Structure 1
Amino acid sequence: MFYIYIIFSKSLNKYYVGSCQDIEKRLEDHLNSRSKFTKTAKDWELKYSEEYNTRSEAYQREMKIKKMKSRIYIEKLINNQE
């Protein structure tokens, strides 16, 4: 399975959108400074995820969310999850 995920840093007050095969491992990478964008904070927290059958589907969804360039859109996704 492949996933898109949204993590949030309180200290930076920023969201990060990404895709991966293993969310737990990827979050650990973010928390341990193994990602360029997220290495400036150590308080990243998983807020949202979606599951896909293929890498391509997950990547397309990731790009759609990123193209929105909207914090409001991201927060609506997070708040409307079941």
Structure 2
Amino acid sequence: MYFIYILYSETANLYYVGYTSNIELRLQQHNEQNSFNTFTSKHRPWKLAALFSCGDQEKEAISIERFIKKQHSRKIIEMLVDPDFIPTGKLSQLVRVPKLRD
């Protein structure tokens, strides 16, 4: 099972969109110290803002992640974070997963 996730950095007031098959591990990787100078390493700590299941095909998860990122729209990401928003169109296959506990 693959997931689309949205992280939020309060310190930088930024969102980050990604995909994974293991959300707990991926969130830990974004927040742990490492020697790599990446976008997410510069804006720690990250909190999970939204999580969606998108099926068992990695190819489809990549496609959805790229679609969201290509929109270059904070408004779309904020709509996805809103628990009352119902995805449509290309995003209609996303199924919101209840938030994980910290």
TM-score, normalising length: structure 2: 0.74
5+ residue gaps, structure 1, are none
Taking only aligned residues, the RMSD between alpha carbons, in angstroms, comes to 1.6
> Which of the numbers 69, 73, 76 marks the counterpart of 1:73?
76
Q: Which runs of 4+ in 1 moved over 2 A?
A: none
Please list, as runs of the form range in 1=range in 2, the aligned pairs for 1:15-26 lying within 5 A after superposition. Answer: 15-26=15-26
| 2:59 pairs with 1:56 | yes
Tell me how far apart the structure 2 counterparts of residues 64 and 15 of structure 1 sit (CA, whole Å).
15
Once the two structures are TM-superposed, the CA of residue 3 in structure 1 deviates from its matched residue by: 0.9
TM-score, normalising length: structure 1: 0.90
Once the two structures are TM-superposed, the CA of residue 47 in structure 1 deviates from its matched residue by: 0.8
5+ residue gaps, structure 2, are 87-95, 97-102
Count of residues paired in the alignment: 82
Q: Percent identity?
A: 37
Larger Rg: 2
